[in-house]
Structure 1
Amino acid sequence: MTSIYYASTYGSTKQYAEELARRVGVDAVPIAEAGEVSAGTAAGPIVVLAPAHGPMHEGVKFVRSLGSEALRNRPAAVATTGMTIDDFVTTADPTGGLLGDLADSVTRFYLPGRLNYSELSAAHRNVMRGLITAVKMKPRKNENERNMIDSYGKDIDRVDFARLDPIVEWVEVQQI
């Protein structure tokens, strides 16, 4: 049976996890409530959804806690939710970099998220202000950095449930 775990800061990853769980007929479990996952003895794929916040990625941390031995017995995927432009995140593959030696054994997906500045915590708003200030000072900005500047301070929702289709297909293939 497929296991779906998630972490969500502002809700878009939770939305994705719940919709994915509905589509494959299981429950989505918050990573914080996962307890010990018996990845080595259970059957079916593991899908972990989590947002990326710079070098912090709760989904990667969770998958790394399972260890390479457990992942030999059970296919795993990480779906990262974020605001990065698709082409940029596909080329850079930051989730693969964070997975390190597990990258070859974990399938990766990217889901566009939601960032509502009107809902940000004061700490997160300050981090974003500092990040945008630093990006604005760069002489040659890439497309993703220009997008960050253009969207700063705005409420943007790019959640798209159609982006779950490849994950559902991956799950179905793993269950054969």
Structure 2
Amino acid sequence: MSGFIVAFESTYGSTKQYADDLATRLGTTAVDFEQARTDLQAQPGAILVVLSPVHGPSLPGAKFITDLSSSELDGHRVALCTVGMTLDDAVIKKDGAAKALGGKAKNVTRFYLPGRLNYSELSNTHRATMWTVVNMLKAKPMKNDNDKMMIDTFDTDVDRVDLSRLDEVEQWARNSTAG
């Protein structure tokens, strides 16, 4: 046992790519949320790093953390890494992960990782949702940089995955074991 639990949920693969890379760095294996819940009980004091995509208001990683009881989290340091396409400045300013975590936000370190959005791989429902969002943004009179990026990259495969962004997460996890 490495003392680290790397839990993830992935829709199109970029979150899994991050989770697998981080788990390798930490000497463990990335697991799904169900296995992570079991591992939390089996590894008291393990550092938990949760990675999940963010799709609009949906943030499965935050839901996983908020669904864990205080006793399940007792003794564990926790981080949430959200993977998405929003520009860094916009995501940090909005901090949707803190809102989604509610009262647990103060005990969860949060990281943002840029993801991948390949329109060529989207489900019809997701593609239709993106078309609607982009058309609403086009009608918006005052567009910010993130709005412009979404409009400009619509129907284009965009890969912003940057595994070097895991350096900060790895450092946090390793420093969390020192205390």
- Please state whether the residue corresponding to 1:104 is helix, strand or coil: helix
The one-letter amino acid of 2:172's match is W
The one-letter amino acid of 2:28's match is V
Deviations 1:117-137 (A, max 9, x none): 011011100010111111111
Query: So what's the TM-score if we normalise by structure 2?
Result: 0.93
Residue 162 of structure 1, aligned match among 151, 161, 164: 164
Q: Within 2, Cα distance between the matches of 1:136 and 1:33?
A: 42
In the other structure, the counterpart of 1:148 is: 150
Structure 1: gaps spanning 5 or more residues: none
Is structure 2 residue 67 aligned with structure 1 residue 65? Answer: yes
In the other structure, the counterpart of 2:23 is: 21
Q: Within 1, Cα distance between the matches of 2:5 and 2:174?
A: 13
Q: Within 2, Cα distance between the matches of 1:12 and 1:38?
A: 24
Worse-matched range after superposition: 101-110 or 71-80: 71-80
The one-letter amino acid of 1:57's match is L
Q: CA deviation at 1:41?
A: 6.3
Q: Within 2, Cα distance between the matches of 1:55 and 1:135?
A: 17
Q: Within 2, Cα distance between the matches of 1:128 and 1:32?
A: 30
Q: Within 2, Cα distance between the matches of 1:115 and 1:41?
A: 35
Deviations 1:140-171 (A, max 9, x none): 11111111101111000000110000000001
Is structure 2 residue 102 aligned with structure 1 residue 100? Answer: yes
Residue 116 of structure 2, aligned match among 114, 117, 120: 114
Is structure 2 residue 2 aligned with structure 1 residue 6? Answer: no
In the other structure, the counterpart of 2:55 is: 53
The RMSD of aligned alpha carbons is 1.6
Worse-matched range after superposition: 94-103 or 28-37: 28-37
Q: CA deviation at 1:40?
A: 9.3
Deviations 1:7-34 (A, max 9, x none): 0000000000000000010010022544
Residue 81 of structure 2, aligned match among 79, 82, 102: 79
Q: Within 2, Cα distance between the matches of 1:91 and 1:40?
A: 37
Q: CA deviation at 1:35?
A: 5.0
Deviations 1:91-142 (A, max 9, x none): 1111111111111000000000000001101110001011111111111111
Contact persistence 1:44–1:174 (CA under 8 A): no
Query: So what's the TM-score if we normalise by structure 1?
Result: 0.94
Worse-matched range after superposition: 133-142 or 109-118: 133-142
The one-letter amino acid of 1:100's match is G
Q: Which runs of 4+ in 1 moved over 6 A?
A: none
Q: Within 1, Cα distance between the matches of 2:149 and 2:30?
A: 32
